[in-house]
Amino acid sequence: MIERYGGPIYGAFEEDGAGSGVAGRGRLLGVAATFAAGLYPPPSWTILRFVPGFLLAGPGPIVRGLRFSAVQENGHPHDPHVYLWFLAVDPRHQRGGVGRALLARVYGDASAPVYLDTANPANVPYYASNGFEELGRAAGPRGASMWFMRRP
């Protein structure tokens, strides 16, 4: 979905076994996937891609997933923004600057404020230390919370 309707997607790669770089060749250490300003949301029919997985999960997970998606969408801003869809770093390379390097690349290329949402409370201080401000939060299924954050 993001490869066709979103982007850009950034990768951090190991450079000659010593450190990481946001561009280059070598082993992939981390990824930041974004929707550039004006590209989110993707066409609504793209959800069909996920139907087989939903059906395999069963009715309970389907209902919880749909409820959480509704919470997520209700918190999404309507003004122009770059949407950081996900940021992932190989666990062996976390806390080594890979995520910060990827975020710096996203900020450098952004044509509008960068927005993200997270359901992991441990991510909130990390993103705050990277210049994100909390826009709000909402309750999700089973006591989960969703935080909405933006970096101007």
- Give residue 23's pLDDT: 55
- Give residue 17's pLDDT: 52
- How many structural domains comprise the chain? 1
CA 43 to chain centroid:
18
Burial of residue 87, with CB atoms counted within 10 A of its CB: 0-12 exposed, 13-18 middle, 19 or more buried: buried
Report H helices in the chain: 2-5, 51-57, 59-75, 98-109, 123-128
Is residue 125 in a domain?
Answer: no
Is residue 121 in a domain?
Answer: no
Domain that holds residue 71: 2-111
What does the block give as tokens for 77?
Answer: 């801003």
Is residue 134 in a domain?
Answer: no
The pTM of the full predicted model, rounded to 2 decimals, is 0.84
Is residue 13 in a domain?
Answer: yes
Q: By C-alpha distance, which of 120, 106, 114 is closest to 133?
A: 114
- Give residue 123's pLDDT: 95
Is residue 39 in a domain?
Answer: yes
Is residue 15 in a domain?
Answer: yes
- Give residue 34's pLDDT: 96
Query: What tens-digit pLDDT sequence spans the chain (152 residues)?
Result: 676 788 899 999 997 555 555 555 689 999 999 999 988 887 777 777 777 887 888 888 888 888 888 898 899 999 999 999 999 999 999 999 999 999 999 999 999 999 999 999 999 999 999 999 999 999 988 888 999 999 99
Is residue 116 in a domain?
Answer: no
Is residue 93 in a domain?
Answer: yes
